Structure 1
Amino acid sequence: MDRLLADGTVNAAQSGEGPLLFLFHSLLSDRASFDAVVPELRTRFRTIVPELPGFGRSHAVEGGLAAVADRMAEAVRDAAAGAPAIVLGNGYGGFVALQMAIRHPEIASRLILADSGAAFSEPGREAFRNMAKASREKGLEAITDIAMRRLFAPGFQAQHPDLMQDRHAAFLRTDPEVFRAACEALASLDLRSQLGAVRVPVLVMVGEHDEATPPPMSHELAAGLPRAELKIIAGCAHVPQLQSPRQFLDALKGFLL
């Protein structure tokens, strides 16, 4: 069931009953990236999977990642009626969730940050600047192969052509202006000095072969958070919930499930 949150500005799918669990999708994907894990999660949680601002039917916001985080905090408060919620973010969604928890300390009871971080290395920043530049000059089609490589290793792509066709199509539905704004925000982001403000328990997860947000970023993130544990998901890349849903769910055991 779809519902509108934050005064109708955030479109989200809701299913299940129980404690509230939000799932924030990545920049190079969409909310469908959680379809394989929602059926199990909704047996224990009221699971809400929003389209982040500027994606799908959710309204875009201006003001960088902070504005996106504020809009999503509004959506969480709306759904939770002011109570704290569990928030899981993958990739870009993880950066949004982290920024939200820093800016709104009461918003989350616990966080799961999958394939995310607090800051990119200079090569990582340059990759975002290059993707923004190429998409502006040539369109999203010109960087689709790069985007897919950041999501999945070549071997996985070759073995799952139907999934890759679906993910190509999902990426090309992204609003180019929203994509470029997100790339520019991530290229300049550095939340490392603010990690101490996150006082809730955090599970940091990362795919062993993630090229978009490499494992050292998750090691640094977990080390900087006061109450964090780190799990490496073997054989996976940037979207483990798509690549290996069972491993992703198993990684949540002991923390969430």
Structure 2
Amino acid sequence: MSAERRSAAKRVLPARRRWREAGLAGSTRRLGGQRPRSAARERRSLHAEAVEALEGHGVPVPAGPREPDGWVLADDGAALATYVREPARPPAPRWRERLAGRRTAPPTVVLVHGWTLSAVVWDRTVAALAEARPDVRVVRYDQRGHGSSAARGPLAPAARPVAAISRLADDLAAVVDTCAPEGPLVVVGHSMGGMALLSASARVPGLLGPRTRGLVLVSTSAGGLSSAGRPLVPLMAALARLPQDVLVPRAPRLLAQRTNYGPGVDPRLVADTMRAMGRVSGRTTGEWFSALMAHDESAALPLLAAAGTPVRVVVGDHDRLTPPAHAKALADALPQARMRVVAGTGHMMLVERPDAIADEVSALLG
């Protein structure tokens, strides 16, 4: 790292520490019996402070459809918007912790969304988890270039492409390190988020430590997507050449309606997806599509198999973006994996059948 980058890092890291204190404090205070209006005002104040601190250190913070609960700084300084639901029923402390005056860290589920989406798309899954497991803490975030998260940070090496699955893996590691540093952990990745999770399992050994109860791979693939996505290649190449701030709502809508769902989908579910897609630029759509077509995480599978971390592979029988054959290839490569095919469901299982995902998470947590 150059002297200039080291200097920039010194300016950014205090902002990260400040966010961590402010963000976690905001999450904790919401459990303190305050009236909702007071808690909402406090969240807005913390959000404004965090944005001011980040922007004061040269970290761009884009506007988004939903106010984040906090921010994580990726290793290149990109600000990643995070959203936290604290458990409705915190776990009782074990006797050793009670004597030491410490609280028991609740199980945390980290949700990683897919291409052209944002954390909003997990709303129905978060609700299903709240019903099935009120003791669980849920963390979700906008992937870089999506939702309220920046596409590139001020410390990003010019030679390293931002639109790379390995970059998303590093971002996931930063989110886990900042938002879920202790307690039982389950990570759920959908589509591109599942690919980031596979990459992280090879790049971040600590992710597969003893506290990780399992990984849930939803509608995803270890690679070989170029043939399935070939009809979209010319369109996505054109989108990748657009300026970063140009939004293309019609293109994602067309893709959502034609490729994402099972038969007879409720139009309201399509609307939910479109709401999550509303902040993705044409350039981001095209660049990340190219990354998906080039992505190959087959080298990560032997490492994940050797680690023995429990894995659930879930796919819809009408998934046309990552067909069931891709899920079967994953399950075949991982002896510890269990595969589930959900009937009548397409690529957007987290919207169509959030209960299926909640069931798999509950099974892993025990």
Say whether residues 1:6 and 2:64 are aligned partners: no
Q: Which residue of 2 aligns with 1:106?
A: 206
Confirm or deny: 8 A CA contact 2:219 2:319 kept in the other structure: yes
- Give secondary structure in 2 for the equivalent of 1:179: helix
Q: Which amino acid aligns with 1:105?
A: P
Confirm or deny: 8 A CA contact 1:77 1:83 kept in the other structure: no
Distance between the aligned counterparts of 1:221 and 1:135, measured in 2?
30
Confirm or deny: 8 A CA contact 1:119 1:192 kept in the other structure: yes
Moved more, 46-55 or 242-251: 242-251
Distance between the aligned counterparts of 1:85 and 1:192, measured in 2?
24
Q: Which residue of 2 aligns with 1:74?
A: 174
Q: Which one has the largest radius of gyration?
A: 2
Q: Which amino acid aligns with 2:302?
A: G
Confirm or deny: 8 A CA contact 1:118 1:217 kept in the other structure: yes
Say whether residues 1:181 and 2:287 are aligned partners: yes
Confirm or deny: 8 A CA contact 1:202 1:229 kept in the other structure: yes
Q: Which residue of 1 aligns with 2:53?
A: none
1:175-254 to 2 correspondence within 5 Å? 175-198=281-304, 199=307, 200-254=309-363
The sequence identity of aligned pairs, in percent, is: 25
C-alpha RMSD of the superposition: 2.4
Q: Which amino acid aligns with 2:342?
A: I
Question: Which fold has the larger relative contact order, with Cα–Cα distance below 8 Å and residues 6 or more apart in sequence?
Answer: 1
Q: Which residue of 2 aligns with 1:93?
A: 193
Which of these residues, 41, 48, 52, is aligned with residue 139 of structure 2? 48
Distance between the aligned counterparts of 1:231 and 1:163, measured in 2?
22
Distance between the aligned counterparts of 1:209 and 1:242, measured in 2?
14
Confirm or deny: 8 A CA contact 1:12 1:49 kept in the other structure: yes
Confirm or deny: 8 A CA contact 1:206 1:231 kept in the other structure: yes
Q: Which runs of 5+ in 2 are unaligned?
A: 1-26, 28-68, 88-105, 153-161, 243-247
TM-score normalised by L of structure 1 = 0.88
Q: Which amino acid aligns with 1:5?
A: V
Q: Which runs of 5+ in 1 are unaligned?
A: none
Higher strand share: 1
Which of these residues, 97, 120, 123, is aligned with residue 227 of structure 2? 123
Q: Which residue of 2 aligns with 1:132?
A: 236
Moved more, 132-141 or 164-173: 132-141
C-alpha displacement at 1:207, in angstroms? 0.8
Q: Which residue of 1 aligns with 2:250?
A: 141
Distance between the aligned counterparts of 1:119 and 1:175, measured in 2?
24
Q: Which residue of 2 aligns with 1:57?
A: 148
Say whether residues 1:26 and 2:26 are aligned partners: no
Q: Which amino acid aligns with 1:230?
A: M
Q: Which amino acid aligns with 2:294?
A: S
Distance between the aligned counterparts of 2:241 and 2:72, measured in 1?
35
